[in-house]
Each structure stands twice: as structure tokens, then as C-alpha cells.
Amino acid sequence: MIRLTVNGQAHELDVPSYRTLLDCLRYDLGLTGSKEGCGVGVCGACTVLLDGKMISSCIALAVFADGREVTTVEGLAEDERLHPVQQAFMDAGGFQCGICTPGQVVAAKALLDAIPHPSEAEIKEWMLGNLCRCTGYYKIVESIQAAAGQARA
């Protein structure tokens, strides 16, 4: 039995010890925003925050999260109001097919939490573990820059 808080909501779950955090979120809690891309911690599509720090949930066990707080892409918007990062990805065209987007958005939020006004180099270094096969990354970098500007306003 594990107790974890996901997007502010407390859960008590009986999970097998080999269950990944990603599968727990998707199949036990129905939070299908986080995606499985590579399954080996390389592509970043499964990025979530564990106590505010970003991790690849496909190579984390659900039991790791016992007593801790998980934030997924579903937890970023406040009611109808999108998180500034989400809004910026829409405004600046930071996605095309969208499969990597939940991971990109969560990683970008973690970046701006850590470095509110990152340089382009800092954005690229932080985001290097979030692969995108559509955008060529330029629009993602622009989206994050736009979100940082929004936060500044």
C-alpha cells in the first residue's frame, strides 16, 4: 500500500512493487497525459515532477513515490486557466503531433521554477532529454522564452 499525492489529490493505492510510476499514473489513476515513448528514460515523454524535481516516470517505480508529491501535466492548469507554459506552447506553436508535449511542458515548468529567466543555452541544456521529432525544437525554445516573458510581466 502506498500513499501519494498527485496534482494535489491524496491517493492510497495497492500497487505491485514492479509497477512503474508511469503505469500507475496512466492505468491506476487514469492520468493519461504522461506518455510512454522510449520506456528507457531517454525521450522525456513521461516526464513528471516528484516533489518538484523532474524525473522520467517510466524508469521510476510507483513505490518510490510513497509519501511524496507527484505533478503531471494534468496538474498544471488552474481550472480553465492554462499554465503560462501551456499557453505559450499554444501561442508560439511549440508542438505539432503532440506526443512529446506533456513531457516538454512539465520539463519547461520545472526549468522556469528553477531558472525563471533562462538563456537560450540554459533552455537547450535543461531540455536535452525531451526529444521531439516534429518541431525541430526552435518553436519549443521560443515557447519557453515566451512563457518566461509572461512570468516576468
Partner 1 sequence: MRYEAPESVQGAVALLAAANGDARVLAGGTDLLVQMRADVVEPELIVDIKRIRETRAVTQENGGWRIGAAVTGAELKEHAPLKQAWPGVVEAANLIGSTQVQGRATLGGNLCNGSPAADSVPALIAAGAVAKLAGPHGQRDLPVEDVMLGPRTLALRPGEFVVSFLLPPRPPRSADAYLRFIPRTEMDIAVVGAGVSIAVDGAGTITAARVSLGAVAPRVLLVAEAAQAIIGSRLDDAAQERLAAAARAACRPIDDKRGTTEFRVDVAGVLARRAALIAMDRARTR
Residues that bind partner 1 (CB under 8 A): 16-18, 20, 39-42, 44, 47, 50, 53-56, 58-61, 63-64, 107, 110, 125-130
Q: How far is the CB of 76 from partner 1 (least distance, A)?
A: 17
The nearer residue to partner 1, 10 or 40, going by C-beta atoms, is 40
127, 115 contact by CB (below 8 A): no
The nearer residue to partner 1, 90 or 114, going by C-beta atoms, is 114
126: enclosing H helix or E strand: helix 120-126
The nearer residue to partner 1, 44 or 84, going by C-beta atoms, is 44
Q: How far is the CB of 35 from partner 1 (least distance, A)?
A: 14
Nearest Cα to Cα of residue 22 among 69, 52, 60, 74: 60
The nearer residue to partner 1, 90 or 115, going by C-beta atoms, is 115
CB atoms within 10 A of CB 116: 10
Q: How far is the CB of 55 from partner 1 (least distance, A)?
A: 5
Nearest Cα to Cα of residue 121 among 144, 103, 104, 99: 144
Q: How far is the CB of 95 from partner 1 (least distance, A)?
A: 19
Q: Which residues contact 79 (CB under 8 A, 6 or more apart)?
A: none
105, 86 contact by CB (below 8 A): yes
